[in-house]
Amino acid sequence: MTHAHPPNPQQASQARARIEQMKRQFEQKRAIAGSLANIGCQIGVYSGKGGVGKTTVAVNLAVTLAQEGARVGILDVDIDCPNVVRAMKIAEPPLVSEQNKIAPPERFGVHVMSMAFFQKDEEEATIWRGPMIHNAINQLLQSTDWGRLDYLVIDLPPGTSDSPLTVMQTLSLDGFVVVTTPQELAKVDAKRSINMIRKLNVPVLGVVENFAGDVFGSGAGEELAREMDLAFLGRLEMRADYRDTSRPTVLTSPPVLEEYKVIAGSAKAALDSG
């Protein structure tokens, strides 16, 4: 008959450390769930690469939903390039309550929270490794008091590396809007991002094609949606209207607003059917 040996002090210490880590992770998830409890739908806006207009889509989609009467927030967790604050023309920092809860400032009917609020210098590069990204996102999610929202639009980091993966694993998103452009390489990268989302078992609401027109062509978004068995949410033409950056373009250009109304309607239909 064999007898189990008691664990040595090092093993016992490692076991206690693992238990404490599990407790902390559970408490973090519970705190985040509490902060997001009054939000109807969480929509991630995502792309396989930078430069395809992901933030522009996220901002204009959020403002369009607000213009239609919804209570909307936008969360900018693009760690490397958090540009939502500049795109929304927000000058004032968020307020912090006595309970250390952060109240997102509101602009154009949209409540805004961004990693940019915590940068000392907008032009400095953010160089963070995985654990720092995870801790920062967790802290931001736990501390923000969104109130009651119909939609929270999340501007994610592009690509398939640690940053977007951390966000996807931390948030319980209801679906993703994937942004691509007509170029062949952008379409390939978007396909990679869709495959990443599917590995995490999160719904993809559909595909948006940006920068369509005479310069880059059009049709890659519809092709991608067809190849990946997804909805095509809509096409955004490349227009001179976007040169006016005084406010989100849906507020200055009726044709752009109409395009975003189509995308918003398609996204809501996909959420309802899911």
Residue spans per domain, the chain: 9-273
Share of the chain above pLDDT 70, in %: 91
Query: Which tokens belong to 42?
Result: 């969480």
Which amino acid is located at 179 in the chain? V
Q: What is the average per-residue pLDDT within 174-194?
A: 94
Q: Which residues contact 240 (CB under 8 A, 6 or more apart)?
A: none
Q: Check residues 224 and 21 and name the one with the higher pLDDT.
A: 224
Average the pLDDT over 92-117 and give the result: 88
Q: Per-residue pLDDT averaged across 157-185, rounded?
A: 86
Q: What is the mean pLDDT of residues 165-169?
A: 80
List the beta strands (DSSP E) in 156-268: 175-180, 204-212, 232-237
Using CA atoms, how far apart are residues 207 and 212, in angstroms rounded to an integer?
13
Tokens encoding 91: 């000058």
Given a cut of 70, is residue 3 above it in pLDDT? no
Mean pLDDT to the nearest integer, 174-203: 93
The residue whose two tokens read 């909307």 is 72
205 has pLDDT over 80: yes
pLDDT of residue 59: 98
Identify the CATH assignment for 9-273 out of 3.90.650.10, 3.40.50.300, 3.40.50.620, 3.20.20.140: 3.40.50.300
How far from 193 is each of 6, 168, 170, 196, 237, CA to CA, in Å? Answer: 47, 12, 17, 5, 23
The residues pairing with 111 across neighbouring beta strands, listed in sequence order, are 73, 106
Nearest CA to 113 out of 46, 62, 159 is that of: 62
- The pLDDT score that the predictor gives to residue 4 is 59
* pLDDT score recorded for residue 169: 81
- pTM assigned to the model: 0.87
Is 66 buried (19+), middle (13-18) or exposed (0-12) by CB count in 10 A?
buried
State how far the Cα of 218 lies from the Cα of 53, in Å rounded to an integer.
15
> In DSSP terms, which residues pair with 46 in a beta bridge?
178
